[in-house]
Amino acid sequence: MFLVDSSGWIEFFTEGPLIGKYQDYLKDPLKVVTPAIVLYEVYKKIKRERTEEDALAAVSLMNRTKIVHLTESIALLAADLSLKHALPMADAMVYATAIEEGCKVVTGDSHFKGLDSVVFIQAGPV
């Protein structure tokens, strides 16, 4: 199981230069965990930069994955992880969800760099 962070989904939906690296993790929606906060972030960014229809289409595809809602245990773990690793709130919630679900975070967000159970996606040398 993998948790693809907002940066990965946005790269995927906007057909960014790293789309191929994220596609590998998004091939089978049944193996992808999506925190509700990632739905929020992706919907907001796509709606702001494109259209509401594009944003809803993205959410529709994301809904084929396992959506995980914020629980008390995830919230408290996220607070602890935020304190320990200086993570912003949303990133801490994503990381806590991955820990609770026993999966790896797939991301290009530098806040996750060096953390356990993170697959860090970055552009290769040019």
**DSSP single-letter state for residue 3:** E
Structural element, H or E, at residue 39:
helix 36-49
pTM: 0.94
pLDDT at position 123, please? 74
**What sign does the CA torsion over 22, 28, 31, 36 have?**
positive
pLDDT at position 126, please? 46
Question: Confidence band (pLDDT; 50, 70, 90) for 117?
Answer: very high
Q: Report the distance separating Cα 63 and Cα 56, nearest Å.
A: 10
Domains and CATH numbers, the chain: 2-120 (3.40.50.1010)
Of 99, 89, 102, 15, residue with least CA distance to 111: 89
Is the pLDDT at 17 greater than 90, yes or no? Answer: yes
Per-residue pLDDT reduced to its tens digit, 37-62: 999 999 999 999 999 999 999 999 99
Strand partners, 78: none
Per-residue pLDDT reduced to its tens digit, 64-111: 999 999 999 999 999 999 999 999 999 999 999 999 999 999 999 999
